[in-house]
Amino acid sequence: MGLAFLSRTSMHATLGAGPGDRSAMDGPTRDGGGDPVGRAHADKMGDMDIDLGADVVTLTQQLVDISSVSHEEQEIADAVEAALRGLPHLVVTRRGHTIVARTELGRGERVVIAGHLDTVPLNDNLPSRLEGGVLHGLGSCDMKGGDAVMLKLAADVPEPNRDLTFVFYEAEEVDSVHNGLRKLTESDPHLLEADFAILMEPSNAAVEAGCQGTMRVDVRTTGERCHSARSWRGVNAIHLAGPVLARLNDYVAREPEIDGLIYHEGLNATGIRGGVAGNVIPDECVVEVNFRFAPDRSEADAEAFVRDFFEGYDVTVTDIAAGAMPGLDRPAAKQFLEVVGGEVAPKFGWTDVAQFTKLGIPAVNFGPGDPMFAHKQDEHVPIEHIERCERLLKDWLA
């Protein structure tokens, strides 16, 4: 099935008169950030509209068929922005290719629902195809099925029981310096203020709460270089790394309970490098170690643990990202879990829910698709997952 786009006129008819007018799009009152959209940009957005009146599966297919490899999200961001600006109950703000749409109903709680618009590079997996209850195509699982659910909520639930903030962001699949959600936490944290957050990352349409933090360090041993024929004249740094590996082999993982969930930490060597030449005793060896830590540890706590664990060795932190607390004790989270049902699992990997931790917002992962198929050539999402996520979220918010 190819793209099914509406003209500006037909979108206007589908969603009701008024909000689709150019004058509404051009005016500064339609932008929560006070930066009015110029007429040239608004005209460009009109070139490609998304049919918010379509069912959620068709809408997913429309999004999949808009190629949006990281750093090339303008086309899809323009289409999403134009569709959202056609909804009179939302205040829309754009930062780069990240779109934020908020209700302002004065509810007692606010929930952020977020999803990224970009995909990994194409792998002969566009256009999309629908076969036997499964939608195939680049981004179908990670995570345009979730984006489609967000758009349907934005269009079909104009008066939710909680205020909502929808965030469609750019550049999640590349280095974090480009991540649109991370940029918002720094440039416009007020746009993300909330009591609870849901990231629509693929999780088999079930709840995975919070996420663990991740840290990478280099543990370095230093010896003395010499000719291998006279090895006793030097000190072999690779041999000195043996006790480092022994410590890792003896490591006993911590398994803390947080909000009734058991997280399982991990400390593992993921690489080792050293050696100069086949006839030279090496004077340096580096063991690359990855620490996956539970969200009750801060970045500082995690670093202190690792440095203490490798006491006596030169330790260099090369990368670190905090985890995210699940916050299942919050009222919004409790009701969400009651509606969704099923068993809640802890998230052992790292996801962008951790971005909300910086702002003190508990978060969960809840989206259609099996994450095992993300980034694969045969990326796909079961239709049942998309429809289930839409139904449960509407039940929770309506």
**Residue that finishes a domain, picked among 269, 288, 321:** 321
Evaluate whether residue 2 is within a structural domain.
no
196-213 average pLDDT score:
92
Q: Are residues 90 and 15 in the same domain?
A: yes
Domain extent at residue 219: 213-321
Q: Are residues 139 and 121 in the same domain?
A: yes
Q: Comparing 359 with 138, which gets the higher pLDDT?
A: 138
Evaluate whether residue 163 is within a structural domain.
yes
**Is 80 exceeded by the pLDDT of residue 66?**
yes
Per-residue confidence (pLDDT) for residue 333, from 0 to 100: 83
Whether 26 contacts 80, CB under 8 Å: no
**Is 50 exceeded by the pLDDT of residue 351?**
yes
Q: Are residues 114 and 192 in the same domain?
A: yes
Evaluate whether residue 1 is within a structural domain.
no
**Residue that finishes a domain, picked among 262, 286, 321:** 321
pLDDT band at 264 (very low <50, low <70, confident <90, very high): very high
Report in angstroms the alpha-carbon separations of 156 from 77, 275, 306. 20, 62, 49
Per-residue confidence (pLDDT) for residue 48, from 0 to 100: 57
Q: Are residues 197 and 234 in the same domain?
A: no
CB atoms within 10 A of CB 2: 9
Q: Are residues 296 and 348 in the same domain?
A: no
The one-letter amino acid at 345: A
Q: Please give the model's pTM, rounded to 2 decimal places.
A: 0.76
The per-residue pLDDT for range 209-230, each reduced to its tens digit, is 889 999 999 999 999 999 999 9
Count of domains for the chain? 2
CB atoms within 10 A of CB 270: 9
118 catalytic per annotation:
yes
Catalytic residue among 65, 78, 147, 172, which? 172
Q: Are residues 188 and 235 in the same domain?
A: no
Per-residue confidence (pLDDT) for residue 287, from 0 to 100: 98
**Is 70 exceeded by the pLDDT of residue 189?**
yes
**Residue that finishes a domain, picked among 321, 349, 369:** 321
266-274 vs 98-102, strand pairing mode: unpaired
Per-residue confidence (pLDDT) for residue 20, from 0 to 100: 33
Supply the Cα-derived Rg of the chain in whole angstroms: 24
Helices (H), the chain: 8-15, 22-26, 39-45, 56-64, 74-85, 145-156, 180-187, 237-240, 242-250, 299-309, 331-340, 353-357, 383-397
pLDDT above 70 covers a percentage of the chain that reads 88
Q: Are residues 203 and 220 in the same domain?
A: no
Per-residue confidence (pLDDT) for residue 331, from 0 to 100: 83
Catalytic residue among 73, 118, 201, 379, which? 118
Evaluate whether residue 180 is within a structural domain.
yes
Q: Are residues 26 and 167 in the same domain?
A: yes
Which residues are within 8 A (CB) of 216 and not within 5 positions of it... i.e. 6 or more apart?
Answer: 270, 288, 289, 290, 291, 317, 318, 319, 320
265 catalytic per annotation:
no
Per-residue confidence (pLDDT) for residue 125, from 0 to 100: 94
Dihedral, CA atoms, 170, 176, 182, 187, nearest 10 degrees?
-90
Per-residue confidence (pLDDT) for residue 348, from 0 to 100: 84
**What CATH number does residue 339 fall under?**
3.40.630.10
Average pLDDT, the chain: 87
**Is 50 exceeded by the pLDDT of residue 115?**
yes
pLDDT band at 165 (very low <50, low <70, confident <90, very high): very high
**Is 50 exceeded by the pLDDT of residue 353?**
yes
Sign for the CA dihedral angle at 180, 24, 80, 54 comes to: positive
The per-residue pLDDT for range 4-63, each reduced to its tens digit, is 333 323 333 333 333 333 223 333 333 444 443 333 333 333 345 789 999 999 999 999
The per-residue pLDDT for range 300-336, each reduced to its tens digit, is 999 999 999 999 999 999 999 889 888 888 888 888 8
